[in-house]
Structure 1
Amino acid sequence: MSDAEAVVEETETSAGFKAIGEQRFFAEYFEQFDALADEMKLHLNDGGLFGIVVDPASVGMVRNSLDREALEHYSATGGVIGLNISRMLDILGMGKSGDLVELTLDTETRKLHIQVDGLSYTLALIDPDSIRREPEIPEDLDLDANVTVAFEDLKRGITAADMVSDHVRFRTGTSDDGKIACYIEAEGDTDDVDLELTHEKLVAIDAAPDDGDSLFSLDYLKDIKKPIPKDAKVRIELGEEHPIKLHYGHTEMGDDALAGDCTVMLAPRISSE
């Protein structure tokens, strides 16, 4: 197989790929991958776009989808293409949120043609076989705490923790009123931060006081939170010195329907105490 032929897997099924949609949906979709990786395998599924990436240190993973219903036009019956994520975002950045973006796969040149706000760009693709193998996000972890928070509260806790430390602790506990609460905490050399999200403040909670208590790198969380829509509700799965999972839906496209969904998993920093 030549390099050109290897750029697109299953070329017969991916030959008809074409997608047209608002810039904001494509940009939000690729931004979460960009937080962890430089390259990705983009799956051109019948139901929409799909991908999984892991960062080079295998600390963070993201599984992300963009549903075909969010787009003005979508046609694809399968296949995988490899692409540079930051290059794709640079091209999308040439347009505005509501601009229509058109993606078309050229089967002759094995390149992706992108049109946005009068700009035409031909993006050279990457051999999918040369991109790091996609991980499976484990589903059988012992994550007993399920907490749903408004993104603004999650962002506030991460931002405050970053003022005093390189790491942040998520845990469940009991507030002064005796109800289960979620805590976002950080301890610095001189200063401490403690954000209490009481039962009334949370969107939902299914946890016992000691179900969740883990420490995580703020460098990862700061990047991960950037693409999350400001009005999103984020469901957090948490355990005892276990990975954390963050689940959220993409921007609403009308009638409370979401453009897709994303799951991010981050490995913990095991406490030395």
Structure 2
Amino acid sequence: MQCILNKIKDAMNFSRLFKPCTFAVALFAQFMPVLGQATDMNVGSSLVGHYSLKGAREAAADIILQVDHHFKYAAMYGGTDAQADGAWSVTGNQVYLNADQSPPYFSEIQQIDQLDSDFTKGAQEPVLMGLVAGTPKIGMRWKDVEVDFKFSNGKIRSAKTGSSGQVFLADRQTPDWKGVEVTEIGLAFPTIELERKWFKVDGKKTKIVVAILELGKLSQAFKTAAVSVDSNKPNQLIVEDEGGIVKGTYVRTATDNQKEER
């Protein structure tokens, strides 16, 4: 898992085309309402709550253990945002966090009818069509995406996105290419072992294609993590072995339905 994450980090490139967002703020604003009373739940229900990292320098992190045995984790440290979500369970004094592992995929393409200067500047010949591969909601573009452009004459021209996440097709004017249109685009991303997927394109109108990559759960901060429960301080979770989760003591925040032991 960490190997794949390292590969995808290498493929990241921030772009002004997409607006970045901060994971943690939105995450906890969305999921705080699910915290509730734990008195009638099964094993581990007394641990339900929102835990915040205390005493760590230049790091903020939270773990939410929900009543339905799902968890949410988010952290900010060293200019990095990290998150994970999945299922939690209890064995002895250990809480195990198992992150969901749904795969990434290209969800859609957006077709734009005007060329952008990013594609035309520096081009040595006229541009027929440009493509940018990215994940807009986290402000990322992706290099090394393999793109197959299929034409109405049955031929295919292949290319890879560069460090800007972009690639463009030259408008060939030889007799066998004049007036030929793009009909389909195939997208593959070997960096994260993503196989090719084909999309229909209106080659008469489309000048730029924006290929949207949904990361699934590939962006999870960890696959599994173990957190210790201190029997003398049941309102605290202890993370001793980092493994993708920020180490330290997480203290539960009191809610209207929970009185914490101080």
Instruction: Give the structure with the higher percent helix.
Output: 1
So what's the TM-score if we normalise by structure 2?
0.24
Pick the structure with greater CA Rg.
2
Q: Comparing both chains, which one has the higher relative contact order based on Cα–Cα distances under 8 Å and sequence gaps of 6 or more? A: 2
